[in-house]
Amino acid sequence: MHYFITGGAGFIGSTLVDRLLGQSHTVTVYDNFSTGFHAFLDHAKLHPGFRLVVGDLLDRKALEAAMAGAEMVYHFSANADVRFGTERPDKDLQQNTVATFTVLEAMRATGIQRIAFSSTGSIYGEPSIFPTPEDAPFPVQTSLYGASKLACEGLIAAYCEGFGFQGVAFRFVSVLGERYTHGHIFDFCKRLLDNPATLHILGNGKQKKSYIYVQDCLDAMQFIETKAQPGFEVYNLGVDDYIEVNDSVRWITETMGLEPTLSYAGGERGWIGDSPFIYLDTTKIRSQGWSPKLTIRQGVERTIRWLLDNRWALEKR
Amino acid sequence: MHYFITGGAGFIGSTLVDRLLGQSHTVTVYDNFSTGFHAFLDHAKLHPGFRLVVGDLLDRKALEAAMAGAEMVYHFSANADVRFGTERPDKDLQQNTVATFTVLEAMRATGIQRIAFSSTGSIYGEPSIFPTPEDAPFPVQTSLYGASKLACEGLIAAYCEGFGFQGVAFRFVSVLGERYTHGHIFDFCKRLLDNPATLHILGNGKQKKSYIYVQDCLDAMQFIETKAQPGFEVYNLGVDDYIEVNDSVRWITETMGLEPTLSYAGGERGWIGDSPFIYLDTTKIRSQGWSPKLTIRQGVERTIRWLLDNRWALEKR
C-alpha cells in the first residue's frame, strides 16, 4: 500500500514511516520541517519505497501533486504546542483547521478516501467524567489547540458523510518515546541538563497526566486501520492509568541520576488552557483487541534515555 | 449600549437591529450584502443611532476599524445554507470558521469582550437523544455547515478561557418569520408562486423539523444577554414541538389559498447532510424564565404572509 504521511518528519509521523517501510509499504512524507527533523528520516531515506516532499500543507497545488497515487493519508502535521495558543491564535487555526481542510480537498482532488487523524484528549476541555469516553457530554473547549482539533474532526466527519470518505480520529493522551521533541518531559530534561541543581515546575506538580508510548500508539492506529468501517469513527488512545507531574519528575531525575532542588509556581494549572486532568476511557479500542504494552513509567524512562543519547534534539529547540 | 451586528442586513440580524434601535441603543451593522438586503435596513437608516459599514468579515483591517467603540458583538454573519456544503466546501470554512476567528481577533484588538453567536442544532449531527440537550453525547458531524459552526463555538469558548471573553452560543432550530429569505419554507412559497399547480418535495415529506419564530428567538437572546455570566455558555433555542415537512406544506398551501398536486423524491433525507430530525431540549433556557410565544404553525403562517406581501424578496434569489 502507498501511504501519504503529513508531518512525516516529526516524532510520531517518522516513527510510523519506519514501521510502514519495514512492512514493505510505499511511503510519501510531506513535511515543511517547521518542527520536523531530517535526522528522523535518515533510515527511511535508504529505502527505495520512500519519497520525501518538502512542502507546506497550505500550498494546495504542491500538496495535490505530492499526494497523487497514494491510497491512504496519515495526517499528523499540526501545531502541537497547546501552551502558546493565546500568543499566536492564528497558528492553531491555520496549521490545524485550515491545513486539515486543505488535506481533505487534496484527497478529494486526487481520489483518496481514507484518512487517519491524530486528534487529542484536549478536545474534551475540562471533562466531568473520568476516565473520559468518546461519547462524553458535548464539551466546552478550553484551548485554541483543542478547538482547532475539534474543528478538524468535524471537517473529517463531514467529508465522510458528504463525500464517502473513510476517516478515523484518534484522540491521544500525550505520546512519549524515542524522537519525542516537545512537551514538559522534554522541557524538564533540557532544563536539567542545563542546570542539574534545580528544577522549577509550573503549577503545583500535582496536575494529573496520562501518557502513551509511541509504539503502542502506532500499534493501535495500524490495528484500527485493518478494521476500519466506512464512515467516521473516533477512538481514544491511552493507557488505563495516570500519573502526577511529580511522578514524572521523580522518574526523570532518577533516570538522569540527578537530585535537583524542586520549586513550584503553584496553582492547579501549569498554563492558561492547560487541562488539569486528561485521562481517557479506552474501553472502545480495548474491546476490539488492542492493549498497550508499556506503562507510563517505562515510556518516560525510554524517552529520557533517548534524549540523553540524542542531545542534538535538545539543542535544536 | 453600542452593539456591533455582523450580518446585520440579513433576516435575523436586521430584525435585532430594529429592536435595539427601538430600545435606544447604538448599532453598527457590518455586512457585505452577499445575502443581506438594503431594504431590511430602511427603517434603521432613519435612526440617528444607526451606522452601516459595508465590508467583508475576512477583511480584518476594515472590520477592526468598524468595530472600534462598540461594546458587544452579535455575530450572525454566516454561510447559512447547509445544502450546498458539498458543492463549495470552502464556503463554510471561510465564511463561518475563518470569519468567526477574524471577528474574535478584531474584538481582541479593539478591547471588546462580549459576543453572542448564532449557532445551530445541526451541530448535533444525528443525535441519539430527543429532544437533544446541550450536553448531549459528543456528536459526529454530518454536514460541513454543522462542522463549521462547531469550529466557531470551539473558537469562542477558547477565547473565553484564554482571553477572558464572555460568550454565548445559541443553537437554533430553523428560524422563521418576517424577512425569512432562505430555506425550504421560502423555496416552497417561491415555487408555488411560479407554478401553483404542483409542488415537488425532496425526501418523503415525513422529515421532522422544528422551528422558532424570529421574535421569540431574539427575546431569548436578549433575555440571556441580561443574565450572561463570565465565560462561555451554550443555549438551545426552539419551541417544545416539531412538525413534519408535510405539515408545513399544508399550512403554506392553505395560507396561499392553493391546492397543488404534491410529488415526492422519496427517501428519509431531503439532501446529503440533511439531518432527518432536529428537535432541541430547551429546558436550560426555559428554566431561567424564557418561553416562546408563537407555535410553529403561527410562525409558518406569518412567514408566508410576509413573503406574499414582499415578493421582491422572492425575486432576488
**Nearest CA-CA distance, residue A83 and chain B, Å:** 10
One domain for residues B104 and B159: yes
Instruction: Check residue B274 and give its pLDDT.
Output: 59
One domain for residues B223 and B198: no
**For residue B147, which residues of chain A lie inside 8 Å, CB to CB?**
151, 154-155, 157-158
Instruction: Check residue A181 and give its pLDDT.
Output: 87
Q: Let me know: does A139 contact A125? Beta carbons within 8 Å.
A: yes
Chains A, B: CB pairs < 8 Å: 130
Q: What is the mean pLDDT of residues B200-219?
A: 93
Tens-place pLDDT, residues A163-181: 999 999 999 999 999 999 8
- Which of B272, B293, B291 shows the shortest CA–CA distance to B282? B291
Instruction: Check residue A264 and give its pLDDT.
Output: 94
Instruction: Check residue B87 and give its pLDDT.
Output: 79
One domain for residues A157 and A302: no
For residue B249, being part of any structural domain is answered with yes
For residue B154, being part of any structural domain is answered with yes
Judge whether residue B246 has pLDDT over 70. yes
Instruction: Check residue A305 and give its pLDDT.
Output: 97
**Nearest CA-CA distance, residue A270 and chain B, Å:** 13
For residue A129, being part of any structural domain is answered with yes
For residue A288, being part of any structural domain is answered with no
Segments of chain A scoring below 50 in pLDDT: none
Instruction: Check residue B145 and give its pLDDT.
Output: 92
Q: Which residues pair with A263 in a beta bridge?
A: A200
User: Binning pLDDT at 50, 70 and 90, where does residue B314 land?
Assistant: confident
User: Binning pLDDT at 50, 70 and 90, where does residue B148 land?
Assistant: very high
Q: Which residues pair with B287 in a beta bridge?
A: none
Of all residues in chain A, the one with the smallest CA distance to B134 is A138
Instruction: Check residue A268 and give its pLDDT.
Output: 75
**Nearest CA-CA distance, residue B126 and chain A, Å:** 11
One domain for residues B260 and B115: no
The total of structural domains in chain B comes to: 2
Integer Rg of chain B from CA: 19
Tens-place pLDDT, residues B253-264: 999 999 999 999
Instruction: Check residue B311 and give its pLDDT.
Output: 93
Quote the cell numbers at residue A209.
497526566
For residue A216, being part of any structural domain is answered with yes
Name which of A136, A151, A162 is nearest B154 (Cβ-Cβ). A151
One domain for residues A151 and A186: no
Tens-place pLDDT, residues B71-122: 999 999 998 766 656 778 899 999 999 999 999 999 999 999 999 999 999 9
User: Which 3-state string (H, E, C) describes A31-63?
Assistant: ECCCCCCHHHHCCHHHCCCEEEEECCCCCHHHH
One domain for residues B33 and B73: yes
One domain for residues A137 and A273: no
Kindly report the CATH number assigned to the domain that includes residue A266: 3.90.25.10
Name which of B125, B139, B163 is nearest A86 (Cβ-Cβ). B163
Instruction: Check residue A317 and give its pLDDT.
Output: 56
Judge whether residue B275 has pLDDT over 80. no
Chain-chain contact of A142 with B134 (C-beta, under 8 angstroms): no
Kindly report the CATH number assigned to the domain that includes residue A131: 3.40.50.720
Instruction: Check residue A275 and give its pLDDT.
Output: 58
> Which residue out of B57, B81, B88, B93 would a mutagenesis test of the A interface target, given it has the greatest number of A Cβ atoms within 10 Å?
B93
For residue A150, being part of any structural domain is answered with yes
Judge whether residue B132 has pLDDT over 90. yes
Tens-place pLDDT, residues B49-74: 999 999 999 999 999 999 999 999 99
**For residue A155, which residues of chain B lie inside 8 Å, CB to CB?**
93, 141, 144, 147, 151
End residue of a domain, out of B218, B237, B256: B237
Q: Compute the distance between CA of residue B231 and CA of residue B64 in angstroms, rounded to an integer.
A: 23
For residue B286, being part of any structural domain is answered with no
Judge whether residue B273 has pLDDT over 60. no
For residue A284, being part of any structural domain is answered with no
Quote the cell numbers at residue A203.
503549577
Chain-chain contact of A104 with B125 (C-beta, under 8 angstroms): no
Judge whether residue B281 has pLDDT over 70. yes
One domain for residues A128 and A7: yes
- Only one residue has cell 514538559, namely A184
Chain-chain contact of A137 with B136 (C-beta, under 8 angstroms): yes
- Which of A61, A63, A100 shows the shortest CA–CA distance to A79? A100
Please list, in sequence order, all residues whose beta carbon lies within 8 angstroms of the beta carbon of residue B268, skipping any fewer than 6 positions away: B203, B204, B206, B207, B276
One domain for residues A144 and A203: no
Instruction: Check residue A207 and give its pLDDT.
Output: 87
> What is the ipTM metric for this complex?
0.92
Alpha-carbon distances of A279 from A207, A250, B113, B139, rounded to whole Å:
11, 20, 32, 20
One domain for residues B251 and B152: no
Q: What is the mean pLDDT of residues B157-183?
A: 94
Domain limits for position B76? 2-175+210-237
Chain-chain contact of B97 with A151 (C-beta, under 8 angstroms): yes
> Which residue out of A96, A104, A128, A140 would a mutagenesis test of the B interface target, given it has the greatest number of B Cβ atoms within 10 Å?
A140
One domain for residues B53 and B100: yes
One domain for residues A50 and A147: yes
